[in-house]
Amino acid sequence: MSLYLAPATAAAAAAVATAAVATFPRRLVLPPSIDIRRHHPELRETMSPPPPLPPPLLGGSSRRMPAGAKHKAVVVLGATGTGKTRLAVDLALRFGGEVINSDKIQLYAGLDVATNKAGAEERAGVPHHLLGVVPRPDAEFTPADFRREARRAADAVTARGRVPVVAGGSNSYVEALVGDREFGERYECCFLWVDVQLPVLHGFVGRRVDDMLRRGLLEEVAAAFDRQRMDYSRGIWRAIGVPELDAYLRCGGEEGERERLLGIAVEEIKSNTRRLSCRQRGKIQRLARLWAPRVARVDATDAFRLRGAAADQAWDRLVAAPCADAVRAFLLHDHRHLAAVQNFNVFAPPAAAAAVV
């Protein structure tokens, strides 16, 4: 999941890298009123077929749908840093799924560290759609664009007999897709909300920013820095970690002053990430009420309090296992699947999870 600011923040950054894993279907047949090529003229060149996977666990491409039945889709919700991608990959591996990215910043090619795209090891061979597929860094990709392309990606996934798993931090994109009449006529959704109490989550995302710096965030943004660029409210330039470094990269003064500005930038990155997690959690609470009782909340806080092997074991026990139980029941048409998730309580989250800004 990426870190991003709402369109009015300032920033700097991003050499456009090559695209990602499984992407849009190879041919785009668009409504007459929309021409995605006008906004993304190079998009065709970024398309590639998905890599092969083992057969899905619950049926295959030859499976026939009963008359009037809907396809199944899983939607993973959560604030930034809560492990949405990890859970989506866990579920895709268990149930023969493919992940559809719903993070508006990770749609863009380039700035892989700043946007926190999942690497090959994290993807574990699972095809990921709509990840790094927009080659123009300043292009606009609206919720309507996402709704159309995510619906097509889901159709391609189900045509292979697999399960679409939608995951990403842009809840406006998810809402646009789920609220779409055509999507609703074809798909029944199971919503899994991975929640972490905010004080614990904020400590984790602070450490993650430090890790991103160790992985080359500063060098990545510096390589894409353009002194002529003043508008960072569009496209990939909104990614948290880009606007905050602008003053540091423009500074030509003494080393001490540069170090001071870098320290300020790092604290701003962490603060803006915390603010983002609060906003996202508030939006998810609203969506959970809107989509009740189909949303199951699983509390991953204890897994985030631990480190190393103990954290992995807690994740498997507290998050992956109950969510797998819920998805298995959902796919087998057992409508009691929500009860399979522990700590299901979307209307009364823990008091300790109150917003911390």
Residue 19: pLDDT band with limits 50, 70, 90: very low
Q: Strand pairing of 128-129 and 97-101?
A: parallel
Per-residue pLDDT tens digits for 120-171: 999 999 999 999 999 999 999 999 999 999 999 999 999 999 999 999 999 9
In this prediction, residues 62-82 reach a mean pLDDT of 83
Cα dihedral 29, 33, 37, 39 sign: negative
From CA 28, how far away is CA 185, in angstroms rounded? 21
**Model confidence, pTM:** 0.79
In this prediction, residues 225-244 reach a mean pLDDT of 94
**CATH 3.40.50.300 assigned to 72-202+277-353:** yes
User: Residue 9, CB half-sphere, CA atoms under 13 Å: how many?
Assistant: 23
Task: Please tell me the least confidently modeled range out of 165-179, 252-266, 281-295, 333-347.
Answer: 333-347
Torsion of CA 239, 242, 247, 253, to 10 degrees: 170
Say what percent of the chain tops pLDDT 90. Answer: 70
DSSP assigned state of 318: I
For residue 171 the two structure tokens come to: 């809840």
In this prediction, residues 211-217 reach a mean pLDDT of 97
Residue 61: pLDDT band with limits 50, 70, 90: very low
DSSP assigned state of 290: H
Per-residue pLDDT tens digits for 301-355: 999 999 999 999 999 999 999 999 999 999 987 665 555 554 444 333 443 433 3
Per-residue pLDDT tens digits for 173-211: 999 999 999 999 999 999 999 999 999 999 999 999 999
Cβ atoms of 117 and 17 closer than 8 Å: no
Task: Please tell me the least confidently modeled range out of 29-43, 253-267, 312-326.
Answer: 29-43
Rg (CA), the chain: 20
